[in-house]
Amino acid sequence: MTINLAGYRESDFERFVDEPPKRQVRSAFARDRARILHSSALRRLAAKTQIHTAGTSDFLRTRLTHTLEVSQIGRELGEAFGCDADLVEVGCLAHDIGHPPFGHNGEAALNIVMSDFGGFEGNAQNLRVLSRLESKTFDSQGNSLGLNLTRASLDAAIKYPWSHQENPVKFGYYIDDAPIFNWIRKTAGEGQCFEAQVMDWADDVAYSVHDVEDAIVSRHLSLSILDHPDEVQEVITLAQQYYTDANETLLSEAIARLKKLEYWVTSYDESQRSLARLKNFTSLLIGRFCSAVIDETKRHYQNENLTRYSANLVVPDWARHEVAILKTLANRYVMQREGVESLHQAQQEKLAFLVQYIVQMDGEPLEPWLQGSWQHSVSDAERLRVAVDQVASLTDISAEAWFRKFSGHGS
Protein backbone atom coordinates (compact mmCIF):
# COMPACT_ATOMS: atom_id res chain seq x y z
CA MET A 1 0.00 0.00 0.00
CA THR A 2 1.36 3.42 -0.99
CA ILE A 3 0.84 6.25 1.48
CA ASN A 4 0.78 9.68 -0.18
CA LEU A 5 1.52 12.47 2.28
CA ALA A 6 2.60 15.20 -0.12
CA GLY A 7 2.66 18.64 1.45
CA TYR A 8 3.69 17.47 4.94
CA ARG A 9 7.09 17.64 6.64
CA GLU A 10 8.82 15.25 8.98
CA SER A 11 8.06 17.51 11.96
CA ASP A 12 4.32 17.16 11.26
CA PHE A 13 4.51 13.44 12.06
CA GLU A 14 6.40 13.80 15.34
CA ARG A 15 4.78 12.72 18.61
CA PHE A 16 5.60 14.19 22.01
CA VAL A 17 6.98 10.77 22.91
CA ASP A 18 8.23 8.81 19.92
CA GLU A 19 6.40 5.58 19.11
CA PRO A 20 7.38 3.07 16.44
CA PRO A 21 4.60 2.38 13.90
CA LYS A 22 2.67 -0.81 14.55
CA ARG A 23 1.57 -1.41 10.95
CA GLN A 24 3.38 0.06 7.98
CA VAL A 25 0.19 0.12 5.91
CA ARG A 26 -1.21 2.97 7.99
CA SER A 27 -0.02 6.55 7.86
CA ALA A 28 0.66 8.39 11.11
CA PHE A 29 -2.52 10.41 10.57
CA ALA A 30 -4.63 7.30 9.96
CA ARG A 31 -3.26 5.95 13.22
CA ASP A 32 -4.30 9.16 14.99
CA ARG A 33 -7.78 8.90 13.50
CA ALA A 34 -8.12 5.37 14.83
CA ARG A 35 -7.06 6.48 18.31
CA ILE A 36 -9.79 9.08 18.45
CA LEU A 37 -12.42 6.71 17.06
CA HIS A 38 -11.58 4.22 19.83
CA SER A 39 -11.44 6.83 22.61
CA SER A 40 -13.87 6.88 25.52
CA ALA A 41 -14.21 10.66 25.21
CA LEU A 42 -15.64 10.30 21.69
CA ARG A 43 -18.08 7.59 22.81
CA ARG A 44 -19.39 9.81 25.60
CA LEU A 45 -20.48 12.41 23.05
CA ALA A 46 -23.35 10.05 22.16
CA ALA A 47 -25.12 11.16 25.36
CA LYS A 48 -24.17 14.83 25.32
CA THR A 49 -26.38 17.68 24.15
CA GLN A 50 -26.00 19.33 20.78
CA ILE A 51 -28.82 21.90 21.10
CA HIS A 52 -31.61 19.56 22.21
CA THR A 53 -31.11 17.67 25.48
CA ALA A 54 -29.58 14.27 24.69
CA GLY A 55 -32.01 11.38 25.00
CA THR A 56 -35.19 13.40 24.42
CA SER A 57 -35.66 12.15 20.85
CA ASP A 58 -34.52 9.30 18.61
CA PHE A 59 -34.19 11.72 15.65
CA LEU A 60 -32.50 14.82 17.02
CA ARG A 61 -28.74 15.09 16.94
CA THR A 62 -26.39 14.51 19.84
CA ARG A 63 -22.88 15.90 20.12
CA LEU A 64 -21.60 12.63 18.61
CA THR A 65 -23.84 12.58 15.55
CA HIS A 66 -22.96 16.24 14.97
CA THR A 67 -19.27 15.32 15.22
CA LEU A 68 -19.65 12.52 12.67
CA GLU A 69 -21.41 14.88 10.27
CA VAL A 70 -18.67 17.49 10.67
CA SER A 71 -16.12 14.76 9.95
CA GLN A 72 -17.86 13.71 6.75
CA ILE A 73 -18.09 17.29 5.49
CA GLY A 74 -14.54 18.12 6.55
CA ARG A 75 -13.04 15.00 5.02
CA GLU A 76 -14.57 15.72 1.61
CA LEU A 77 -13.52 19.36 1.77
CA GLY A 78 -9.98 18.36 2.70
CA GLU A 79 -9.77 15.90 -0.19
CA ALA A 80 -10.89 18.63 -2.59
CA PHE A 81 -7.96 20.79 -1.49
CA GLY A 82 -5.33 18.04 -1.49
CA CYS A 83 -5.08 17.77 2.30
CA ASP A 84 -4.51 14.42 3.91
CA ALA A 85 -8.11 13.32 4.48
CA ASP A 86 -7.31 11.40 7.67
CA LEU A 87 -5.63 14.47 9.17
CA VAL A 88 -8.64 16.69 8.47
CA GLU A 89 -10.93 14.03 9.91
CA VAL A 90 -8.82 13.90 13.07
CA GLY A 91 -9.40 17.62 13.58
CA CYS A 92 -13.13 17.20 12.96
CA LEU A 93 -13.53 14.17 15.23
CA ALA A 94 -11.69 16.03 17.99
CA HIS A 95 -13.34 19.44 17.59
CA ASP A 96 -15.95 18.87 20.35
CA ILE A 97 -14.36 16.01 22.26
CA GLY A 98 -13.89 18.09 25.42
CA HIS A 99 -17.37 19.55 25.59
CA PRO A 100 -19.20 19.04 28.91
CA PRO A 101 -22.78 17.93 29.61
CA PHE A 102 -25.65 20.21 28.58
CA GLY A 103 -23.95 21.79 25.58
CA HIS A 104 -22.79 25.39 25.67
CA ASN A 105 -24.88 25.91 28.78
CA GLY A 106 -22.67 23.41 30.63
CA GLU A 107 -19.61 25.14 29.23
CA ALA A 108 -20.82 28.46 30.67
CA ALA A 109 -21.45 26.86 34.07
CA LEU A 110 -17.94 25.41 34.34
CA ASN A 111 -16.40 28.66 33.13
CA ILE A 112 -18.04 30.43 36.08
CA VAL A 113 -16.68 27.78 38.47
CA MET A 114 -13.16 28.29 37.07
CA SER A 115 -13.38 32.07 36.66
CA ASP A 116 -10.53 32.70 39.11
CA PHE A 117 -8.36 29.84 37.86
CA GLY A 118 -8.02 30.16 34.10
CA GLY A 119 -11.63 29.61 33.03
CA PHE A 120 -13.20 26.73 31.16
CA GLU A 121 -13.56 26.58 27.39
CA GLY A 122 -14.66 23.56 25.36
CA ASN A 123 -11.88 24.01 22.82
CA ALA A 124 -9.20 24.26 25.50
CA GLN A 125 -10.70 21.15 27.07
CA ASN A 126 -10.38 19.38 23.69
CA LEU A 127 -6.61 19.76 23.87
CA ARG A 128 -6.59 18.63 27.50
CA VAL A 129 -8.54 15.48 26.65
CA LEU A 130 -6.32 14.65 23.68
CA SER A 131 -2.99 15.37 25.37
CA ARG A 132 -3.62 14.48 29.01
CA LEU A 133 -6.95 12.95 30.03
CA GLU A 134 -7.44 10.06 27.60
CA SER A 135 -5.65 6.88 28.69
CA LYS A 136 -3.16 5.70 26.08
CA THR A 137 0.46 6.83 26.52
CA PHE A 138 2.70 7.83 29.43
CA ASP A 139 6.15 9.42 29.47
CA SER A 140 9.17 8.12 31.39
CA GLN A 141 8.15 10.14 34.47
CA GLY A 142 4.73 8.50 34.56
CA ASN A 143 2.81 11.52 33.23
CA SER A 144 -0.15 10.86 30.95
CA LEU A 145 0.24 12.15 27.39
CA GLY A 146 -3.32 11.30 26.44
CA LEU A 147 -3.49 9.85 22.93
CA ASN A 148 0.01 11.12 22.05
CA LEU A 149 -1.14 12.28 18.62
CA THR A 150 1.18 13.73 16.02
CA ARG A 151 1.97 17.43 16.02
CA ALA A 152 -0.09 18.07 12.87
CA SER A 153 -3.11 16.17 14.22
CA LEU A 154 -3.19 18.16 17.45
CA ASP A 155 -2.74 21.38 15.49
CA ALA A 156 -5.65 20.45 13.20
CA ALA A 157 -7.91 20.27 16.27
CA ILE A 158 -6.97 23.72 17.61
CA LYS A 159 -9.63 26.26 16.69
CA TYR A 160 -8.23 29.10 18.83
CA PRO A 161 -4.40 29.10 18.91
CA TRP A 162 -4.07 31.38 21.95
CA SER A 163 -4.50 31.25 25.72
CA HIS A 164 -7.08 32.44 28.24
CA GLN A 165 -4.78 35.35 29.07
CA GLU A 166 -4.88 36.54 25.46
CA ASN A 167 -8.66 36.13 25.05
CA PRO A 168 -10.70 35.04 28.10
CA VAL A 169 -13.85 34.39 26.04
CA LYS A 170 -12.59 31.95 23.39
CA PHE A 171 -9.22 30.25 23.80
CA GLY A 172 -7.46 27.04 22.86
CA TYR A 173 -5.47 25.99 25.90
CA TYR A 174 -5.12 26.41 29.65
CA ILE A 175 -1.89 27.78 31.12
CA ASP A 176 -0.95 24.45 32.70
CA ASP A 177 -1.24 22.87 29.24
CA ALA A 178 1.13 25.45 27.74
CA PRO A 179 4.06 22.99 27.35
CA ILE A 180 2.15 20.72 24.95
CA PHE A 181 0.61 23.70 23.15
CA ASN A 182 4.05 25.28 22.64
CA TRP A 183 5.40 21.95 21.36
CA ILE A 184 2.52 21.70 18.87
CA ARG A 185 3.07 25.22 17.62
CA LYS A 186 6.87 24.96 17.43
CA THR A 187 6.77 24.75 13.62
CA ALA A 188 3.50 26.63 13.12
CA GLY A 189 2.79 29.71 11.10
CA GLU A 190 0.29 32.42 12.04
CA GLY A 191 -3.23 31.57 13.12
CA GLN A 192 -4.92 28.25 12.37
CA CYS A 193 -3.34 25.68 10.14
CA PHE A 194 -5.23 25.03 6.91
CA GLU A 195 -6.68 21.73 8.14
CA ALA A 196 -8.07 23.46 11.25
CA GLN A 197 -9.65 26.11 9.02
CA VAL A 198 -11.35 23.34 7.03
CA MET A 199 -12.54 21.78 10.30
CA ASP A 200 -13.84 25.14 11.48
CA TRP A 201 -15.88 25.76 8.33
CA ALA A 202 -17.19 22.17 8.30
CA ASP A 203 -18.37 22.73 11.88
CA ASP A 204 -20.08 26.02 10.97
CA VAL A 205 -21.82 24.45 8.00
CA ALA A 206 -22.90 21.32 9.84
CA TYR A 207 -24.36 22.93 12.89
CA SER A 208 -25.97 25.88 11.10
CA VAL A 209 -27.81 23.61 8.68
CA HIS A 210 -28.49 20.61 10.91
CA ASP A 211 -29.56 22.62 13.94
CA VAL A 212 -32.18 24.28 11.74
CA GLU A 213 -33.27 20.85 10.50
CA ASP A 214 -33.63 19.62 14.08
CA ALA A 215 -35.49 22.78 15.06
CA ILE A 216 -37.99 22.17 12.27
CA VAL A 217 -38.47 18.49 13.13
CA SER A 218 -38.95 19.30 16.82
CA ARG A 219 -41.61 21.86 15.78
CA HIS A 220 -39.80 24.77 17.42
CA LEU A 221 -39.28 26.48 14.06
CA SER A 222 -41.08 27.03 10.79
CA LEU A 223 -39.09 28.89 8.16
CA SER A 224 -42.30 30.72 7.20
CA ILE A 225 -41.52 33.05 10.10
CA LEU A 226 -39.14 34.84 7.73
CA ASP A 227 -42.22 36.09 5.87
CA HIS A 228 -42.94 38.38 8.84
CA PRO A 229 -40.95 41.66 8.94
CA ASP A 230 -40.89 41.84 12.74
CA GLU A 231 -39.40 38.34 13.01
CA VAL A 232 -36.85 39.13 10.30
CA GLN A 233 -35.73 42.21 12.20
CA GLU A 234 -35.35 40.21 15.39
CA VAL A 235 -33.29 37.56 13.61
CA ILE A 236 -31.01 40.19 12.09
CA THR A 237 -30.50 41.91 15.45
CA LEU A 238 -29.66 38.62 17.14
CA ALA A 239 -27.30 37.61 14.32
CA GLN A 240 -25.37 40.84 14.79
CA GLN A 241 -25.22 40.25 18.52
CA TYR A 242 -23.84 36.71 18.34
CA TYR A 243 -22.50 35.73 14.93
CA THR A 244 -21.51 38.51 12.56
CA ASP A 245 -20.56 42.17 12.22
CA ALA A 246 -22.35 42.42 8.85
CA ASN A 247 -24.75 45.31 8.53
CA GLU A 248 -28.53 45.04 8.29
CA THR A 249 -28.61 45.38 4.52
CA LEU A 250 -26.21 42.47 3.96
CA LEU A 251 -28.13 40.23 6.35
CA SER A 252 -31.46 41.19 4.74
CA GLU A 253 -29.97 40.22 1.39
CA ALA A 254 -28.79 36.91 2.84
CA ILE A 255 -32.32 36.11 4.03
CA ALA A 256 -33.75 37.07 0.64
CA ARG A 257 -31.29 34.76 -1.17
CA LEU A 258 -32.10 31.84 1.12
CA LYS A 259 -35.85 32.31 0.65
CA LYS A 260 -35.42 32.30 -3.15
CA LEU A 261 -33.74 28.89 -3.17
CA GLU A 262 -36.02 26.45 -4.97
CA TYR A 263 -35.47 23.88 -2.22
CA TRP A 264 -36.21 26.26 0.69
CA VAL A 265 -38.66 24.52 3.05
CA THR A 266 -41.53 26.60 4.45
CA SER A 267 -43.77 23.77 5.70
CA TYR A 268 -43.28 20.43 7.43
CA ASP A 269 -45.96 17.86 8.37
CA GLU A 270 -43.87 14.86 9.61
CA SER A 271 -44.78 12.69 6.60
CA GLN A 272 -42.13 10.64 4.82
CA ARG A 273 -42.33 12.92 1.78
CA SER A 274 -41.94 15.97 4.02
CA LEU A 275 -38.92 14.42 5.71
CA ALA A 276 -37.41 13.73 2.29
CA ARG A 277 -37.87 17.38 1.26
CA LEU A 278 -36.23 18.46 4.48
CA LYS A 279 -33.29 16.11 3.94
CA ASN A 280 -32.88 17.42 0.40
CA PHE A 281 -32.93 20.96 1.81
CA THR A 282 -30.07 20.22 4.23
CA SER A 283 -28.03 18.33 1.63
CA LEU A 284 -28.25 21.10 -0.96
CA LEU A 285 -27.45 23.82 1.58
CA ILE A 286 -24.33 21.94 2.68
CA GLY A 287 -23.33 21.57 -0.97
CA ARG A 288 -23.91 25.30 -1.52
CA PHE A 289 -21.62 26.32 1.34
CA CYS A 290 -18.91 23.76 0.61
CA SER A 291 -18.78 24.47 -3.13
CA ALA A 292 -18.46 28.17 -2.37
CA VAL A 293 -15.27 27.76 -0.32
CA ILE A 294 -13.77 25.22 -2.72
CA ASP A 295 -14.29 27.53 -5.69
CA GLU A 296 -13.08 30.69 -3.93
CA THR A 297 -10.04 29.07 -2.32
CA LYS A 298 -8.90 27.40 -5.54
CA ARG A 299 -9.27 30.72 -7.36
CA HIS A 300 -6.78 32.24 -4.93
CA TYR A 301 -4.20 29.41 -4.97
CA GLN A 302 -2.65 27.65 -7.91
CA ASN A 303 -0.80 24.84 -6.10
CA GLU A 304 -2.62 21.51 -5.99
CA ASN A 305 -1.98 20.53 -2.36
CA LEU A 306 -3.12 23.11 0.17
CA THR A 307 -1.77 21.96 3.53
CA ARG A 308 -0.66 23.21 6.95
CA TYR A 309 0.49 26.85 6.54
CA SER A 310 0.70 27.02 2.76
CA ALA A 311 -2.74 28.63 2.35
CA ASN A 312 -5.80 30.06 4.05
CA LEU A 313 -9.38 28.99 3.45
CA VAL A 314 -11.30 31.64 1.51
CA VAL A 315 -14.95 31.89 2.52
CA PRO A 316 -17.12 34.31 0.51
CA ASP A 317 -18.86 36.94 2.62
CA TRP A 318 -22.26 35.95 1.27
CA ALA A 319 -21.77 32.40 2.55
CA ARG A 320 -20.73 33.62 6.00
CA HIS A 321 -23.82 35.84 6.14
CA GLU A 322 -26.19 33.03 5.19
CA VAL A 323 -24.60 30.67 7.72
CA ALA A 324 -24.94 33.38 10.39
CA ILE A 325 -28.67 33.65 9.64
CA LEU A 326 -29.13 29.88 9.97
CA LYS A 327 -27.22 29.80 13.26
CA THR A 328 -29.42 32.60 14.54
CA LEU A 329 -32.64 30.75 13.68
CA ALA A 330 -31.63 27.80 15.87
CA ASN A 331 -30.48 30.16 18.61
CA ARG A 332 -33.65 32.25 18.60
CA TYR A 333 -36.25 29.49 18.32
CA VAL A 334 -34.57 26.63 20.21
CA MET A 335 -31.90 27.87 22.61
CA GLN A 336 -33.87 30.97 23.60
CA ARG A 337 -37.38 29.52 23.37
CA GLU A 338 -39.88 30.23 26.11
CA GLY A 339 -39.33 28.20 29.26
CA VAL A 340 -35.77 27.13 28.48
CA GLU A 341 -34.16 29.65 30.83
CA SER A 342 -35.27 27.78 33.95
CA LEU A 343 -33.96 24.50 32.51
CA HIS A 344 -30.58 26.08 31.77
CA GLN A 345 -30.38 27.56 35.26
CA ALA A 346 -31.09 24.18 36.85
CA GLN A 347 -28.44 22.51 34.68
CA GLN A 348 -25.82 25.09 35.62
CA GLU A 349 -26.59 24.68 39.30
CA LYS A 350 -26.23 20.90 39.05
CA LEU A 351 -22.78 21.08 37.45
CA ALA A 352 -21.59 23.71 39.93
CA PHE A 353 -22.84 21.55 42.80
CA LEU A 354 -20.97 18.49 41.49
CA VAL A 355 -17.66 20.36 41.25
CA GLN A 356 -18.07 21.77 44.74
CA TYR A 357 -19.07 18.39 46.15
CA ILE A 358 -15.99 16.67 44.70
CA VAL A 359 -13.76 19.33 46.27
CA GLN A 360 -15.55 19.19 49.63
CA MET A 361 -15.20 15.40 49.70
CA ASP A 362 -11.46 15.70 48.97
CA GLY A 363 -11.81 13.96 45.61
CA GLU A 364 -13.51 10.84 46.94
CA PRO A 365 -16.32 10.84 44.30
CA LEU A 366 -13.79 10.94 41.44
CA GLU A 367 -13.68 7.98 39.10
CA PRO A 368 -10.52 5.85 39.49
CA TRP A 369 -8.88 7.18 36.32
CA LEU A 370 -8.73 10.69 37.87
CA GLN A 371 -7.77 9.73 41.41
CA GLY A 372 -4.05 9.88 40.60
CA SER A 373 -4.35 13.42 39.24
CA TRP A 374 -6.10 14.53 42.41
CA GLN A 375 -3.47 12.94 44.65
CA HIS A 376 -0.63 14.61 42.75
CA SER A 377 -2.27 18.06 42.79
CA VAL A 378 -0.37 20.52 44.97
CA SER A 379 -2.75 23.51 45.01
CA ASP A 380 -6.43 24.32 45.32
CA ALA A 381 -6.42 25.47 41.70
CA GLU A 382 -5.04 22.14 40.49
CA ARG A 383 -7.56 20.18 42.54
CA LEU A 384 -10.42 22.34 41.25
CA ARG A 385 -9.27 21.71 37.69
CA VAL A 386 -9.33 17.94 38.29
CA ALA A 387 -12.87 18.20 39.68
CA VAL A 388 -13.89 20.13 36.57
CA ASP A 389 -12.19 17.53 34.34
CA GLN A 390 -14.39 14.92 35.99
CA VAL A 391 -17.63 16.84 35.63
CA ALA A 392 -16.83 17.86 32.06
CA SER A 393 -16.30 14.21 31.15
CA LEU A 394 -19.81 13.23 32.27
CA THR A 395 -22.68 12.76 29.86
CA ASP A 396 -26.00 14.51 30.36
CA ILE A 397 -27.40 11.28 31.76
CA SER A 398 -24.54 10.59 34.17
CA ALA A 399 -24.45 14.23 35.34
CA GLU A 400 -28.12 13.97 36.28
CA ALA A 401 -27.48 10.64 38.03
CA TRP A 402 -24.49 12.00 39.96
CA PHE A 403 -26.53 15.00 41.07
CA ARG A 404 -29.38 12.82 42.32
CA LYS A 405 -26.94 10.53 44.14
CA PHE A 406 -24.86 13.18 45.88
CA SER A 407 -27.44 15.90 46.48
CA GLY A 408 -30.24 13.67 47.72
CA HIS A 409 -32.63 15.53 45.41
CA GLY A 410 -34.65 14.35 42.47
CA SER A 411 -34.04 15.52 38.91
Q: What is the pLDDT of residues 317-335, one digit of tens each?
A: 999 999 999 999 988 888 7
Residue 57 has pLDDT above 60, yes or no: no
| Mean pLDDT lowest among 18-22, 145-149, 156-160, 187-191 | 18-22
Query: For residue 59, how many other CB atoms are within 10 A of its CB?
Result: 11
Residue 392 has pLDDT above 70, yes or no: yes
Whole-number Cα distances in Å, 402 to 112, 151, 342, 394, 409: 20, 36, 20, 9, 10
pLDDT tens digits for range 150-196: 999 999 999 999 999 999 999 999 999 999 999 999 988 889 999 99
Sign of CA dihedral 221, 226, 228, 229: positive
Nearest alpha carbon to residue 94 among 54, 137, 134, 135: 134
**pTM for this model (two decimals):** 0.93
Residue 302 has pLDDT above 70, yes or no: yes
Residue 337 has pLDDT above 80, yes or no: no
Please report the pLDDT score of residue 61 as a whole number: 74
Residue 2 has pLDDT above 50, yes or no: no
Query: For residue 180, how many other CB atoms are within 10 A of its CB?
Result: 19
Residue 54 has pLDDT above 70, yes or no: no
Residue 28 has pLDDT above 90, yes or no: yes
Nearest alpha carbon to residue 403 among 326, 328, 359, 349: 349
Long-range contacts of 34-37 (CB under 8 A, 24+ apart): 35/136, 35/147, 35/149, 36/90, 36/93, 36/94, 36/97, 36/130, 36/147, 36/149, 37/93
Please report the pLDDT score of residue 6 as a whole number: 76
Q: At what angle do helices 396-407 and 340-360 cross, to 10 degrees?
A: 60
The angle subtended at Cα 367 by Cα 364 and Cα 368, nearest 5°, is: 95
pLDDT tens digits for range 229-264: 999 999 999 999 999 999 999 999 999 999 999 999
Q: Give the separation between CA 289 and CA 202, rounded to whole angstroms.
A: 9
Residue 51 has pLDDT above 70, yes or no: no
Q: What is the pLDDT averaged over residues 75-88?
A: 96
Q: Give the separation between CA 319 and CA 293, rounded to whole angstroms.
A: 8
Q: Where are the domains of the chain?
A: 194-339
Whole-number Cα distances in Å, 291 to 106, 204, 294, 315: 34, 14, 5, 10
Please report the pLDDT score of residue 326 as a whole number: 96
Q: Give the separation between CA 87 and CA 197, rounded to whole angstroms.
A: 12
As a whole number of Å, the CA-based R_g of the chain is 22
The answer to whether the CB of 326 falls within 8 A of the CB of 205 is: no
**Position 4 confidence tier, pLDDT thresholds 50, 70, 90:** low
339: left (phi over 0), alpha (psi -120 to 50) or beta: left
Q: What is the pLDDT averaged over residues 283-291?
A: 97
| Mean pLDDT lowest among 53-57, 124-128, 146-150 | 53-57
Please report the pLDDT score of residue 360 as a whole number: 96
